[in-house]
């Protein structure tokens, strides 16, 4: 063989061992054996062996590798690594790594993904959804809650308490329901599809708040007192973290407590003087117990030598002297209870600290651990429930509403939006199911929770905007028959709360993901912090050479993906989804490679280049979203009729990954490195196009026609055919319209006229008189016309009804007393 061919064979051997990630000694053995065969065959000579020895000996001989190479690398690492604040450290330590770790590995294990148990409801949880959950949806009038009362009715508050809606996370031994995270998600999806005030009121006590914190960190005395009362609604909780000067930067709260002695209930006790100013606190106006976050200081050393103890969480009863509470914010016309809290030099005993005195200063870690769970459930589930409800409602409306003598859902511009709504709704439900399955397995997935919060609330924004465009005037005119306007108004709230989406995308997803999910970065950080020099070097040596081998592997894997599209890679299923598994595997390698090169070239400055970080976060996010879609498709039996949703969701996610990589490379600040990255990762441009018109046409057809795929998409939503249910009425009218269409065509044919599909009641009378249709057909046409008019008509008002000062007087002469205030 020629020298060049043997050169390629040796390169192939190196690439093979790198791709397979063999251990160092195994890899050197395979490459050495290849060189030996080449030497026997003739072309491999002294120079090749010299190069091999220059690499193999330093790597294999520990005194050279560790004492010389690793020592120099450690010194360099310390010089370029950014400082990590205590709050950053606690945030990283608080969460766990789950499937996001596999996605960062460059080699996700698909069998592991599909081996994760599908979440299922218990009989008790299903009964709750079918019974109390359905019933409370029936009790809520969206217009009355939002426009007239700015609150849930007294009877709804009482019902929520009686049936323990506020106790889904509380253990049974305290009187709670102890529902799974998956069950909580399904409850919130159903409630969110009906009324945002209802879902917020139920969601917050079951997310980050006193109940969650007490169960994990409270003293036995605190648990025994508060948890049974929270379970039955005798206490309404809220949690106060955000301050005017510290929103997304919650670790910078200026609110403080000073350890001191003072009088409390007639006795001198060791306590805290609290001064705070909080805002945006959900349920604060009606709360009877406040979870309060503040920075605790001990200037007189009453608790020990440390003055700055750190963020601390305490429980403050509503009737505590000095607590200012009760006023309300008015967030975008969605009147869930939300308001400010203040206190100045308010003295409370140390026993009010959640967990007691020993938990002073431990509040940030407590919050991060609980937030990583809560953010996986509340906002993502509410967004998914809203999107599912909109998908069905908008599909029905598009079939019922006609312009130019055809359903508007047949217009291509409307089909595009219906396709996007349906595809996103399928993906969002897949993500909530997968993520809550992780929580139920004991995970505290901080990175995944940030992905869920950001992407699902943004997709809800897209869905409600598309839905509003399709509904047109029907959507913008508020009133008792408008099921869309308040969702449109309130969507920015979910974008803003629990970490603004700008912060979440630009700083959290990749910022924490690179630390938590990368298999070596955190080990390197921890190794560099070890005080014992020998132990430090041992740990760093292991981490850094593992990292170097990892980077080499992902370089080869990325190059192979670029060349072959991973066509030779095995996939768990040999059907139309196999290309998605191969693509996700390739993009996983791309992510790991781009991350390593970025950190190596930019060092600590990468932390400040938020837009680059955001794009890498987008790659990680869409890898996760796509994984959830593939898992859902498999769990539901790989049904062919669901494939339009699967294809749309996967193609959209893969296209978004492509766009993020392209933007990252184009904006990489070191241009020569960017050119190399382009050659390795994306030399031929964007690989995946956006979903096609044909695919979105299929989804639009599904949304406008009752079928099993449509039913699965809307599974669990409130669609009861009862009086007052706007969504149930839409579904019934859709079914009636489809039944009437052939009858209408029969009439047009008999009359030899091409009639508009309006005034169906009058047309029914005419056709019945001409013996064209039966009485049953005429009855169906009259019923359909009534439903059609309810669907397309909008509300109007006497001017006085719209005045804020008179609306309650017009609708409700007597002011009502809220149930939570009675409890207070």
Tokens coding 68: 């010389």
Q: N- to C-terminal Cα distance for the chain?
A: 89
pLDDT (tens digit per residue) in 561-617: 999 888 878 899 999 999 999 999 999 999 999 999 998 888 778 878 999 999 999
| Residue pLDDT, tens place only, 302-351 | 999 999 999 999 999 999 999 999 999 999 989 999 999 999 999 999 99
Catalytic residue among 90, 415, 498, 783: 498
- Residue tagged 């009641």 (tokens): 761
State the Cα torsion 443-448-453-459 to the nearest 10°: -130
DSSP annotation of 131: I
pLDDT over 70 for what percent of the chain?
Answer: 96
Distance of CA 614 to the CA centre of its chain: 16
Beta bridge partner(s), residue 270: 261
Between vectors from CA 608 to CA 604 and to CA 612, what angle results, nearest 5°? 100
615, 509 contact by CB (below 8 A): no
DSSP line for 604-664: GGGGT-HHHHHHHHHHHHHHHHHHHHHHHHHHTT--GGGHHHHHHHHHHHHHHHHHHHHHH
* CA–CA gap between residue 237 and residue 225 (Å, rounded): 14
Q: Which helix (H) or strand (E) holds 276?
A: strand 267-282
CA-to-CA distance for 481 and 794, rounded, in angstroms? 7
| Distance of alpha carbon 335 from alpha carbon 733, whole angstroms | 31
The tokens describing 538, both together, are 């041992």
Lookup: tokens for 599 = 């950190």
Has residue 822 got a pLDDT over 60? no
Phi, psi of 238 (to 5 degrees): -145, 165
What number is the average pLDDT over the span 398-407?
A: 94
Q: Which residues have C-beta within 8 Å of that of residue 518, sequence separation ≥ 6?
A: 104, 592, 595
State whether residue 249 is helix, strand or coil. Answer: coil
Q: Are 238 and 209 in contact (CB under 8 A)?
A: yes
Q: How far is CA 159 from CA 136, 192, 470, 652, 793, in A?
A: 7, 17, 36, 42, 33
Antiparallel, parallel or unpaired: β 338-349 and 324-325: antiparallel
Question: Does residue 206 contact residue 166 with C-beta atoms inside 8 Å?
Answer: yes
CA-CA distance, 497 to 211, in Å (whole number)? 20
What is the token pair recorded at 5? Answer: 């061919």
| Strand stretches in 298-384, DSSP E | 308-317, 324-325, 338-349
Mean pLDDT of 5-18: 85
Count other Cβ atoms within 10 Å, centred on residue 532.
Answer: 9
Model confidence at 818: pLDDT above 70: no
Question: Which residues lie across from 338 on neighbouring strands?
Answer: 282
Place of tokens 């449509």: 710
Mean pLDDT of 747-767: 94
Q: 682-727 pLDDT, tens per residue?
A: 999 999 999 999 999 999 999 999 999 999 999 999 999 999 899 9
Q: For the chain, what is the mean pLDDT?
A: 91
Rounded to whole angstroms, how far apart are CA atoms 105 and 586? 11
Length of the chain: 824
437 sits in the region (left: phi over 0; alpha: psi -120 to 50; else beta) called: alpha
Residue 810's pLDDT is: 41
pLDDT of residue 817: 38
Question: CA nearest 425: which of 135, 114, 733, 700?
Answer: 700
Cα-Cα-Cα-Cα torsion 512, 514, 517, 520, nearest 10 degrees, comes to: -130
In angstroms, the CA 765 to CA 785 distance is 12
pLDDT for the residue numbered 268: 92
Distance CA 253, CA 242 (A): 7
pLDDT (tens digit per residue) in 343-389: 999 999 999 999 999 999 988 888 877 777 888 999 999 999 999 99
Distance CA 712, CA 709 (A): 5
Mean pLDDT to the nearest integer, 445-456: 94
pLDDT for 805 beyond 70:
no
- What's the pLDDT score for residue 95? 77
What integer pLDDT is reported at residue 86 of this predicted model? 65
Residue 348: beta bridge partners? Answer: 272
Asked if residues 782 and 761 have their Cβ atoms less than 8 Å apart, the reply is yes
d(CA 14, CA 553): 10
Count the Cβ atoms, other than its own, within 10 Å of residue 214.
24
Which residues neighbour 305 within 8 Å (Cβ) at sequence distance 6 or greater?
Answer: none
Query: C-alpha angle 504/611/629, rounded to 5°?
Result: 55
Average pLDDT over residues 159-173: 96
611 phi-psi bin (left φ>0, alpha ψ -120 to 50, beta other) = alpha
User: What is the pLDDT averaged over residues 259-283?
Assistant: 94
Is-catalytic flag, 412? Answer: no
What's the rounded Cα separation, in Å, for the pair 612 and 261?
51
**pTM of the model as a whole:** 0.92
How deeply is 626 buried, as exposed, middle or buried, from its count of CB atoms within 10 A (0-12, 13-18, 19+)? buried
State residue 91's pLDDT score.
65
> What value does the mean pLDDT take over residues 228-246?
93
Residue 809 pLDDT level (bands cut at 50, 70, 90): very low
Cα dist from 703 to 33, 45, 644, 698, whole Å:
61, 69, 11, 9
How many of the other CB atoms lie within 10 Å of CB of 264? Answer: 17
């Amino acid at each position: 063989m020629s020298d060049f061919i043997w050169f390629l064979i040796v390169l192939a051997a190196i690439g093979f061992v790198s791709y397979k990630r063999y251990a160092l000694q195994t890899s050197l053995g395979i490459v050495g054996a290849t060189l030996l065969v080449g030497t026997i065959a003739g072309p491999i000579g002294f120079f090749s062996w010299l190069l091999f020895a220059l690499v193999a000996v330093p790597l294999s001989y520990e005194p050279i590798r560790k004492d010389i190479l690793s020592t120099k690398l450690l010194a360099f690492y310390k010089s370029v690594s950014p400082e990590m604040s205590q709050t950053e450290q606690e945030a990283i330590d608080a969460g766990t790594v789950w499937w996001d770790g596999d996605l960062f590995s460059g080699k996700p294990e698909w069998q592991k993904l599909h081996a994760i148990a599908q979440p299922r409801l218990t009989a008790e949880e299903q009964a709750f959804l079918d019974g109390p959950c359905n019933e409370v949806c029936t009790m809520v009038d969206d217009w009355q809650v939002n426009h007239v009362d700015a609150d849930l009715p007294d009877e709804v508050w009482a019902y929520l308490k009686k049936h323990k809606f506020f106790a889904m996370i509380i253990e049974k031994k305290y009187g709670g329901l102890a529902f799974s995270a998956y069950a909580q998600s399904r409850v919130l999806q159903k409630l969110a599809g009906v009324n945002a005030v209802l879902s917020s009121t139920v969601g917050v006590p079951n997310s980050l708040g006193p109940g969650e914190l007490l169960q994990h960190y409270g003293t036995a005395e605190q648990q025994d007192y508060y948890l049974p009362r929270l379970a039955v609604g005798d206490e309404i909780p809220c949690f106060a973290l955000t301050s005017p000067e510290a929103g997304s930067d919650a670790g910078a709260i200026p609110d403080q407590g000073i350890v001191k002695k003072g009088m409390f209930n007639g006795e001198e006790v060791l306590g805290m003087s609290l001064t705070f100013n909080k805002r945006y606190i959900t349920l604060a106006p009606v709360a009877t117990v406040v979870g309060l976050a503040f920075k605790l200081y001990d200037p007189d050393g009453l608790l020990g030598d440390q003055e700055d103890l750190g963020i601390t969480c305490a429980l403050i009863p509503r009737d505590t002297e000095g607590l200012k509470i009760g006023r309300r914010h008015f967030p975008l016309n969605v009147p869930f209870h939300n308001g400010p809290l203040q206190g100045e030099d308010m003295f409370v005993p140390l026993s009010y600290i959640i967990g007691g005195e020993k938990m002073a200063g431990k509040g940030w870690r407590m919050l991060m651990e609980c937030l990583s769970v809560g953010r996986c459930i509340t906002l993502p589930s509410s967004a998914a429930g809203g999107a599912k409800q909109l998908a069905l409602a908008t599909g029905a409306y598009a079939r019922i509403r006609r312009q130019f003598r055809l359903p508007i859902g047949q217009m291509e511009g409307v089909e595009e939006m219906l396709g996007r709504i349906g595809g996103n709704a399928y993906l969002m439900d897949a993500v909530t199911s997968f993520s809550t399955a992780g929580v139920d397995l004991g995970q505290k997935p901080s990175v995944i929770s940030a992905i869920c919060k950001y992407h699902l609330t943004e997709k809800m924004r897209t869905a409600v905007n598309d839905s509003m465009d399709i509904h047109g005037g029907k959507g913008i005119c508020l009133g008792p028959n408008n099921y869309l306007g308040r969702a449109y108004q309130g969507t920015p709230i979910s974008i803003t709360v629990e970490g603004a989406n700008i912060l979440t995308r630009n700083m959290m997803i990749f910022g924490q993901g690179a630390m938590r999910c990368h298999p070596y970065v955190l080990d390197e950080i921890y190794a560099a912090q070890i005080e014992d020099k020998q132990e430090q070097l041992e740990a760093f040596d292991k981490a850094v050479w593992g990292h170097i081998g990892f980077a080499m592997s992902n370089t080869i894997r990325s190059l192979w993906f670029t060349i072959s599209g991973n066509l030779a890679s095995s996939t768990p299923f040999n059907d139309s989804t196999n290309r998605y598994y191969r693509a996700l595997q390739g993009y996983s390698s791309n992510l790991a490679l781009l991350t390593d090169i970025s950190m190596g070239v930019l060092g600590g400055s990468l932390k400040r280049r938020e837009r680059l970080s955001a794009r890498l976060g987008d790659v990680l996010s869409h890898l996760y979203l796509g994984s959830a879609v593939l898992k859902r498709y498999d769990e539901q039996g790989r049904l062919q009729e669901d494939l339009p949703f699967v294809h749309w969701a996967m193609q959209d996610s893969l296209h978004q990954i492509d766009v993020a990589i392209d933007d990252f490379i184009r904006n990489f600040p070191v241009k020569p490195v960017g050119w190399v990255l382009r050659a390795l990762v994306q030399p031929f441009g964007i690989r995946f196009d956006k979903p096609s018109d044909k695919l979105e046409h299929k989804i639009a057809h599904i949304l406008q026609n009752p079928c099993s795929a449509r039913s699965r998409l809307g599974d669990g939503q409130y669609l009861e055919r009862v009086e007052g249910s706007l969504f149930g009425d839409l579904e019934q009218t859709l079914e009636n319209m489809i039944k009437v269409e052939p009858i209408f065509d029969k009439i047009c044919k008999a009359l030899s006229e091409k009639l508009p599909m309006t005034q169906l009641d009058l047309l029914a009378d005419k056709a019945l008189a001409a013996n064209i249709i039966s009485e049953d057909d005429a009855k169906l046409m009259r019923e359909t016309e009534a439903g059609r008019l309810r669907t397309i008509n909008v509300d109007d008002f006497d001017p006085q009804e719209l005045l804020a000062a008179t609306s309650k007087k017009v609708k409700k002469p007597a002011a009502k007393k809220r149930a939570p205030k009675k409890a207070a």
